[in-house]
Amino acid sequence: MPYQEALAWIHSIERFGMNQGLERIEALLGYLGNPHKKLRYLHIGGTNGKGSTAALAASVLQAAGYRTGLYTSPYLNQFTDRMSIDGEEIPEDKLAELVSIVRPLAGRVAKDPLLGQPTQFEIVTAIAFAYFAAARPDIVVLEVGLGGRLDATNVVNPLVTVITTISLEHTGVLGKTVEAIAGEKAGVIKEGTSVVTQAKGNAFAVIEEVCRQKNAPLYQLGKDFSAEYVGGDLEGQTFNYLGLSRNFIGLGIPLLGHYQIDNASVALSALELLGRKGFMLTENAFRFGLSRTRWPGRLEILRREPLVVIDGAHNLEAFQGLRQALPKTFSYKKMILILGILKDKAVEEILKEIIPLADKLIITRPDSPRAADPLHVKKIAAKLTNGQIFVEEEIPAAIKRAFFLASSQDLVLAAGSLYLISEIRNHFIKSGVSF
């Protein structure tokens, strides 16, 4: 099967929508010989910071000499981003080969009236498990897709579980309160398996109770381990890590935003726990692995004059972190914001968070059927600011408008959806910009 045909089939499954539950993925994996049971995992869930935490942990494991698989979603540049081993994406011909195997098996599942059509995420997750099982990495760093309890990745029994931050998201699926969402996220916790979390307040209380019920040791950022910010510039940040049993002074990460230090600390504590499971991780591995981490699309600089930054903020908590990070990280005269947001997000709350920082706002449409109507977003934004608001339906036109409005001392920021920043990033790549 040609790669483009395989990709077209995967994307065609999207029309069936989202339907959480483990029955279909378990049936599909059963037909594949249960490849997920042949591997060891670090399982990472939460609301924000999952991908960064996964990338940081995987980079350290790789630096320590372990063959490391990484499964994340969604992709930023191309579909093969989603599954990699030691930083090398799945080859296109291998993905196509696996699709040719999984496709008829997914059809068998779909014909079962008690199961129905597997979702796109379930199919991709099954492909990832099959890929990793054949390649046999030493460990797979596995990012939860949505929620936790009913997420397709929740068929594994990990060595260590991570739950990053928890805030309101996908309330129509996960629940309308932080406590309800925390309950769904905590569904990834397994009997006796150590858990690391950034969660606070009521969300932490929910996780703590689940850990008590499942005899799972629990470690919380700020209580059992912590980090101290030392300094930073546009190349990255330095911090001290005060860990569960190890302390490291002057660690560096090439990721911007103070919240990335929290993500790194959570990754490090999870790695400490993996050390208790037999993974030998030297200080050099920690230092080198962190310094070599790459996770594009998060406060990523694409150009210096004018300063062009993209950020994958897509929900209220992420925008709150973005708002705090901007003045601490960048110096600029004015900010031109390119905003493309999905209609199932808290649009008005997000606008209230970010609009006060923007001198000019350009609203565009991400390439997604879930994209919010730019004219609807403009109506909401007009109630919140007296500044200039522009609507450009097409993303290339939004970029062109931003450069027309920006001086060399200004900041052009794009945020609101990974679909948006993916297209902007690819636009710059095609323009020959190196970053």
pLDDT in tens, 50-106: 999 999 999 999 999 999 999 999 888 899 999 999 999 999 999 999 999 999 999
- Type and span of the H or E element at 265: helix 259-275
Residues 6+ apart with CB under 8 A from 145: 73, 121, 125, 151, 152, 153
Residue 239 tokens, joined: 């911090």
Contact between 60 and 286 under an 8 Å Cβ cutoff? The reply is yes
Residue 272 tokens, joined: 């400490």
Mean pLDDT, to the nearest integer, of 208-222?
98
Expressed as residue numbers, the domain containing 358 is 300-430
Note whether 255 and 160 are same-domain residues.
yes
Residue 201 lies in a domain: yes
Note whether 148 and 220 are same-domain residues.
yes
pLDDT, position 412: 97
Note whether 232 and 380 are same-domain residues.
no
Taking 50 as the threshold, does the pLDDT of residue 338 lie above it?
yes
Note whether 274 and 311 are same-domain residues.
no
Note whether 338 and 271 are same-domain residues.
no
Burial class (CB in 10 A: 0-12, 13-18, 19+), 326: buried
Block residue for tokens 């109630």: 383
Note whether 271 and 364 are same-domain residues.
no
Taking 70 as the threshold, does the pLDDT of residue 15 lie above it?
no
pLDDT, position 167: 87
- In the chain, the number of structural domains is 2
Sheet holding 411-415, edge to edge: 300-303, 307-310, 411-415, 335-339, 360-363, 388-391
Note whether 48 and 98 are same-domain residues.
yes
Taking 80 as the threshold, does the pLDDT of residue 340 lie above it?
yes
Contact between 377 and 363 under an 8 Å Cβ cutoff? The reply is yes
Note whether 179 and 148 are same-domain residues.
yes
Strand segments (E) across 254-341: 300-303, 307-310, 335-339
Note whether 232 and 89 are same-domain residues.
yes
Note whether 281 and 314 are same-domain residues.
no
Taking 70 as the threshold, does the pLDDT of residue 364 lie above it?
yes
Q: Which of 271, 291, 311 is the last residue of a domain?
A: 291
pLDDT, position 14: 79
User: What pLDDT, in 10s, does the model give residues 31-41?
Assistant: 999 999 999 99
Q: Which of 266, 291, 316 is the last residue of a domain?
A: 291
User: What CATH code is carried by the domain that includes residue 399?
Assistant: 3.90.190.20
Note whether 309 and 175 are same-domain residues.
no
Note whether 324 and 223 are same-domain residues.
no
Q: Determine what percent of the chain is predicted with pLDDT higher than 70.
A: 98
Q: Which of 291, 314, 336 is the last residue of a domain?
A: 291
Instruction: Give the pLDDT band of residue 343 (cuts 50, 70, 90).
Output: confident
Mean pLDDT, to the nearest integer, of 261-289?
98
Residue 161 lies in a domain: yes
Find residue 71's DSSP bridge partners: 83, 142
Residue 435 lies in a domain: no
